[in-house]
Amino acid sequence: MYPRLSDLFRDFLGFDFPLPIYSFGFMVAMAVMTAAWLLQKELDRLYQAGRIGSVKIPDPSAGKSKKKSRKKFVDVSPSYLVGTITILTIAAGFGGAKIFHILENLDDFFVNPMGMIFSKSGFTFYGGMILGTIVVSRYVKKKGVSVPVLADAAAPGMMLAYGIGRVGCHLSGDGDWGIAANLAAKPGWVPDFLWAESYPNNILGIDLSSVPVYPTPIYELILASLLFFLLWKMRDHLHAAGWLFWTYIVVNGIERFFIEKIRVNNRFDVLGITMTQAEIIAVVLIVVGAVGMWKMWSKNGKSSVSERKIVNPEPAVESDT
């Protein structure tokens, strides 16, 4: 494994190139950048097709005005907001991920609260997704952008970003691996590295050489990539605004629920059923997402975003850079 990028350089290039960059953080950055790029492209496409309204920004050609009332504004694509959306997503995402990890490990938190808060590991994806979604939704609504349309535009990229982020978990060996692999059950056509991994040099310093585990981050990368292509192909499906996002919520929940069956994680007793925190949240997301899909469904296409323009309310304030 390669907890730091310098480990990767040393293994493949044969020399030490000290880089104080952790592979997990690097892959998360790649995931965010990929999702932001895809969101920008999709917002521009929707804007050019007249399916999402514009945002107002100060006219750069008008020069500076001392009086705010004299400022001139121009209409631009909502993709102009992607930079700010990305920053908000990173801040809220990491904060939410850390908060949910602490809630999942309260006993360890009370023993060493500062150590857990400032640990380089220990993040829960659903915490980041939930808090990030809330913060970004409030921001774009304030700017006058249709939240359901933006959510649809972001859904495919969010799915792919999840898979890319899991590559960081795999490279660093941060504990998001599976249970002990059943080597006797491995089909002959499945490569060894896809069935069992010992995660040597993992960032937690755990020796798994005698009990290799299922490399669940790789499974999630594969599944997330397939689901990304599915959502990307469904962008122009006749649906009401928001339907694609709720579809993402459902498939994300299904994927996570089943992968938890072979992952190492803390378990809780809920109504006599033993489940992980991720399984509980996944079930809630599946139910909520299914209800959202049902409400947004448009059989006759009258409210389809593919057949009508979406008019956004006028922003109450000027847009940020």
Please give the chain's pLDDT, 321 residues, in tens. 888 888 877 887 777 777 778 888 889 889 989 999 999 999 999 999 888 888 888 877 665 555 555 668 888 899 999 999 999 888 887 777 777 667 766 667 667 677 666 565 555 666 777 888 888 889 998 888 989 999 999 999 999 999 999 999 999 988 889 999 999 999 999 999 999 999 998 888 899 999 999 999 999 999 999 999 999 999 887 778 889 999 999 999 999 999 999 998 877 776 777 788 788 889 999 999 999 998 887 544 444 444 444 444 444 444 444
Strands 73-76 and 55-58: antiparallel
Question: Where do the structural domains in the chain lie, given as residue ranges?
Answer: 5-58+75-182+195-234
Residue 314 is predicted with a pLDDT of 46
- Rounded to whole angstroms, what are the CA distances from 209 to 3, 50, 106, 197, 236? 17, 57, 30, 8, 48
Residue 125 is predicted with a pLDDT of 62
Helix or strand holding residue 57 (H, E)? strand 55-58
Burial-class residue 30 by CB neighbours within 10 Å (0-12, 13-18, 19+): middle
Residue 321 is predicted with a pLDDT of 42
Identify the sign of the CA torsion 149, 151, 155, 161: positive
Closest CA to 165 of 235, 234, 91, 90: 90
Instruction: Please name the residues in contact with 162: beta carbons below 8 A apart, sequence gap of 6 or more.
Output: 31, 125, 220, 224, 252
CB neighbourhood size of 130 (10 A)? 19
Main-chain phi, psi angles of 273, to 5 degrees: -110, 130
Residue 68 is predicted with a pLDDT of 54
Residue 302 is predicted with a pLDDT of 44
**pTM for this predicted structure:** 0.80
- Rounded to whole angstroms, what are the CA distances from 254 to 148, 149, 234? 22, 23, 18
Contact yes or no for 228/156 (Cβ under 8 A): yes
Residue 298 is predicted with a pLDDT of 54
